[in-house]
Amino acid sequence: MRLTAFSDIALRVLLLMGGLAPETMLSTQRIADGVGAPYNHVAKTVARLRGMGLLCSQRGRSGGVMLTEEGREARVGQVLRVLEADTAIVECEADETACPLNHGCRLRRALAGAREAFYRELDEVSIAELVNPRQVGPIAVQLGLRPPEQLDSGTPTFAI
């Protein structure tokens, strides 16, 4: 199964934010720089993740975007189910008139089962479990964040 570019960016945002100290706020521009995606795409993604309760934001000079505890503990499969909800694996899922073999089609059902198996596998993994300090570290330094600090969990994180 192939993820949409939107979901790819969303996962990058969650992984980046998950590697930062819990109270760290970043501007959408800094997040875009960190995940290597255009600002406009990241802004739309951040808005969607905020709407899902995975990120929160604060306006103003010292404002920014922050990963919520719900975002840190979110299951990847659940996140993708929401983000990929409108994405068809094959054209006939979105448009039943696209295929003359549509009536009684078993392929569509098999593909739906495969998609659900994919999501179920990812339900076993949280965003926090996927965070790799070796990946986030260089990006955090590039964004001007302090070197890693050890939290109670022993996981290196970065702070402003």
- pLDDT surpasses 70 at 140: yes
Looking at every residue in the chain, the average pLDDT score rounds to 86
Using alpha carbons, list the distances in angstroms from residue 41 to 2, 6, 58, 84, 113. 18, 8, 20, 16, 30
- Whether residue 109 has pLDDT greater than 50: yes
Q: Average of pLDDT values for 12-24?
A: 91
Return the DSSP state at 126.
B
- Burial degree of 16 (CB within 10 A; 0-12, 13-18, 19+): buried
Taking the whole predicted model, whether its pTM rises above 0.85 is answered as no
3-class secondary-structure state, position 26 = strand
Lowest mean pLDDT among 66-75, 87-96, 101-110, 122-131: 87-96
E strands in the chain? 55-58, 64-67, 149-150, 156-157
Average pLDDT over residues 94-110: 78
How high is the pLDDT of residue 150? 47
